[in-house]
Amino acid sequence: MKLVRFGPMGQEKPGVLDEDGRLRDLSGVVADIDAETLSSEGLAKLAKRALKRLPLVGGNPRLGCPVASVGKLIGIGLNYADHAAETGLPEPKEPVVFLKATSCIQGPNDPIVLPKGSTHTDWEVELAVVIGTLARHVSKREALSHVAGYTIVNDVSERQFQMARGGTWDKGKGCDTFGPIGPWLVTRDEVPQPQKLDLWLAVNGVRMQASNTRHMIFSVAELVSHVSQFMSLHPGDVIATGTPAGVGMGRHEDGKPSPRFLRKGDVLTLGVAGLGEQRAEVMAYPR
């Protein structure tokens, strides 16, 4: 199933895409795409519903984050060897884990607003994992059984805040609008091989990132297991699994560094195979 949340910001309703890709209203069936819905039992009940009997949603409504009330938005750094190389950093011996503030979360097509004083805002397309059942000290073998499904995260990052302002990476990772998620949550049964997904990102139609999740240093199962050793993973928690090469910070031309950061008016488009696409315009911080 492809689960969505649609409607004005803060007033989203649960929905689902039917076999023909049409949006149908789930609000008469579940309260939201929340912990109860994302549980194995909740998803099993939904799978038995006759989707074509649900009300169609007309027009082209805004899509919100497909998960209600995300408890934790967990980032994984340097999880593709080519991205680690372009940043000049060594491949990690174990996953690099950080947190993005949940206040940065927004819909997949909402505008990205450059933070006040920003000069180095960058992009990162990532496969994201949505937890469905409590995971605490789980093994790699059992890790995927705790996954409800998958979606897309653009791990927008202000590199100067992240690298040059002291402390942890979090300063450059959790700015408002820096966590577009969606468009859909695709349930685990429709993504049997999460390590075989193409992902890409373009700025103003120019392809910047293109890779496949098989190039991850640490697999989805390894990441869920690893993170669960340090914190409990609850239903609705989201893990962004890292980005491949092609970020603005790492760009080169003629063998020389030529970084390119986001500017007002830029349009980002990105996607992961089978999980949909995002499109976001970049806006300046309001005066």
Could you say which DSSP state residue 170 is in?
Answer: G
Residues 173-214 pLDDT 10s:
999 999 999 999 999 999 999 999 999 999 999 999 999 999
Cis peptide before 90 (omega within 30 of 0): no
Give me 197's structure tokens.
Answer: 């997904």
- Return d(Cα 32, Cα 51) in angstroms, integer: 16
* pLDDT at 49 > cutoff 90: no
Rounded mean pLDDT of 250-259? 86
* pLDDT at 261 > cutoff 90: yes
Rounded mean pLDDT of 221-249? 97
Distances (CA, A) of 2 to 67, 205, 243: 12, 26, 23
**In this predicted structure, what is the pLDDT of residue 164?**
80
**In this predicted structure, what is the pLDDT of residue 168?**
80
Prediction pTM value: 0.96
Domains of the chain with CATH codes: 2-53 (no CATH), 73-283 (3.90.850.10)
Residues 122-164 pLDDT 10s:
999 999 999 999 999 999 999 999 999 999 999 999 999 987 8
pLDDT band for position 253 (cuts 50, 70, 90): confident
* pLDDT at 287 > cutoff 80: no
Give me 89's structure tokens.
Answer: 């950093």
Q: Three-class SS of residue 276?
A: strand
Using a pLDDT cut of 70, give the percent of the chain over it: 100
* pLDDT at 167 > cutoff 80: no
Rounded mean pLDDT of 251-275? 93
Contact between 272 and 198 under an 8 Å Cβ cutoff? The reply is yes
**In this predicted structure, what is the pLDDT of residue 165?**
82
Strand partners, 277: 271
- Tell the burial category of 136 from Cβ atoms under 10 Å away from its Cβ (0-12, 13-18, 19+): exposed
Residues 86-123 pLDDT 10s:
888 899 999 999 999 999 999 999 999 999 999 999 99
* pLDDT at 77 > cutoff 90: yes
